[in-house]
Amino acid sequence: MKFALTLACFSLLGLIIPYSSPAQCLELVWSDEFNTNGPPNPEYWGYDLGSGNGWGNQEIQAYTNNAQNVRVEDGKLKIQAIKQNNVWTSARVKSQGKKSFKYGKIQFSAKLPAGSGTWPALWMLGENISSAGWPACGEIDVMEHVGKTPGKVHGSIHTPSSSGATVNTSTITIADFNQAFHDYEIIWTADEITFRVDGNAYYTYAPAFQNADTWPFDKNAFIIMNIAMGGIFGSDDQYETGGLQNGVDPNLTSALMEVDYVRVYQEVESIAIEGPSMVEPYSTGLSYQVTNLIEGTFNWTAPPGATITSGQGGPAITVDWGNTDGEVSVEVIGQCGAYSASLNVENVTVPQGASYILDDFEDNNHERWTAEPGNGNSFVFTESGGALNIAYSVTAPGANPKAVLHLEQVVDLSVYSKMRARVKTLNNSGTVNMRIDLFDLNGAATNATPVFKLEPLVDNGEYAVYEFDFSGQWGSSFPNAGALVDSSRVAGLNLYLDYGIFGSPGSDEVWLDYIEMVDPQGISGLSEVLEDAGFAIYPNPTKNTVILSMNAPLGQWKAVDCQLYNLQGVRLLSQQWADPTIDLQLNVEGLPAGMYLLALRAGEKVVTKKLFIE
């Protein structure tokens, strides 16, 4: 009841009737048990601050978020009004914009302050108050107590049909309100709101006719807890001065309300899991939790290679991931029945080396490429000598003939946004026209203009390096115009040949040596002339060790950081080369056979070399 006077009288709209529980079963879906000392959990709670011009009720306190006024201590939320230099400060804690609820049981376990002039409250406001205003948003005063009438607890409803001095209210007497904790709660359904203390119902608001004036309670509401001092409802006439609603016992210097817990129970039809659905391989400390059920027996499972490190049996777990996609699943036995949910989790590669190789055609893995030439066109792939040859015949350019590279894992390219492709063609047909689009996990492709094209085309049969920076160029024009490609979730690329309305029919060949992504703000990748850097590595291929040798003058290269990455961008080894005048030996024994990237960094210069392990 934070906006005006509440009177204890009956209403034609809100009838005082014995509470008869509807046929419903409620599960605990959210709670704050106040188990961590310090300020209230900022994930759940914010504050109203200042004097608020009396907060609409001529209250005399100023609200703060200082620890003397609000803190979690000894398993309790403590809201304390304090008088210093004849000025009262207090606290008003709210879940607005953080947690809100519609229907169910909202329960506070609280011990109330004593003292004439105190006005503690546990209450709720419609989440739409910022747009609808008060009282159109609706207000539910789960518990109000004014110290001038000790032990009389009020439960009230404020709506456009009755607000301020509302008639939708009733009271119950709690003799030990300031000595013991009691459960102050409402049962809120689509038809009625019943007020209870320790499970005993004393008032039900059930308007015979529901509209915006009588029932604004079909929307979410947030929670508020506070102690006001004085004010229209709390002021004690015998202590008032200057015609103000400032009547507080002059001998009172402090008032403390303690809240043991806030709990919300609701009907649950199904549950869901919240947590990251895209993870880096071998990530640790990943959190997954059931979003709308926190009480019961929880049996979690994770895919092979992932380990549940804590939380099994409860509503939230911590997982150390492996390198396998799969589902995080949970089976729950609750108070009202059994529930299950699963969340599909996929690995995402986050490159860490100097560049990220989309494909360099060194490992005979061109099966990741698929041909989508369209009717009347054909592609033939041949991989040899560290390059991919695409021989094609196009009679229908309008079919947008393309080759598609599907990456083994989704890749975060939000930093590595410059593409380099080393390509050659003789262009004997005179029709070679090639472009590359990246696409994300949802299929959105970088097909808005400008796009990455081989322009100008070098057609002397020698390799040329073509570059394009996708920074700011992640737009998509089809199939969903105006969408942005998620650069942190790139799933592959489309390579078009002799395509579109400007394409010409023809048969020809192109060779791809590599396609890589690099950071446009920083360093380089495979397209550099690596020999100019002055490094040599041997033997290459190797089995157990590799030697790094310096050929450049020492003044150019001083201390060097050597880092070995696999093709997924995972760093496997890191070693300092303190004196490059002496050859450095790296031990690679035990690593699987295949191609790796050796990144060498000295100051701002970084080069990358391919290393093959047999």
* DSSP β-ladder status, 286-290 and 316-320: antiparallel
Q: Note the helical H segments in 373-431.
A: none
Q: Which amino acid is at 339?
A: Y
Residue with structure tokens 């109000």? 144
Nearest by Cα to 411 from 369, 363, 359, 453: 359
Give the DSSP letter string of 94-154.
E-TTT-EE-SEEEEEEEE---STTEEEEEEEEETTHHHH-TTTT-EEEEEEE-TTSTTEEE
Phi/psi of residue 491, each to 5°? -110, -15
- Rounded CA-CA distance 18/170 in Å is 13
Check 27, 127, 144, 383 and give the catalytic one: 144
Q: Using an 8 Å Cβ cutoff, are 6 and 154 in contact? A: yes
* Residues 6 or more apart in contact with residue 195 via CB below 8 angstroms: 142, 155, 170, 172, 185, 186, 201, 202, 203, 204
Is 144 noted as a catalytic residue in this protein? yes
Is 185 noted as a catalytic residue in this protein? no
Check 139, 192, 280, 509 and give the catalytic one: 139
Residue with structure tokens 């089976």? 331
Cis status of the peptide bond prior to 541, with omega within 30 of 0? yes
Residue 262 to residues 106, 108, 372: CA-CA distances in angstroms? 8, 5, 58
> What share of residues in the chain are helix, strand, coil (percent, to 5)?
5, 45, 50
Give the DSSP letter string of 491-529.
EEEEEEES-STT---EEEEEEEEEEEEE-TTS---TTS-
- Rounded CA-CA distance 435/421 in Å is 11
- Rounded CA-CA distance 451/438 in Å is 10
**What are the residue numbers of the active site?**
139, 144
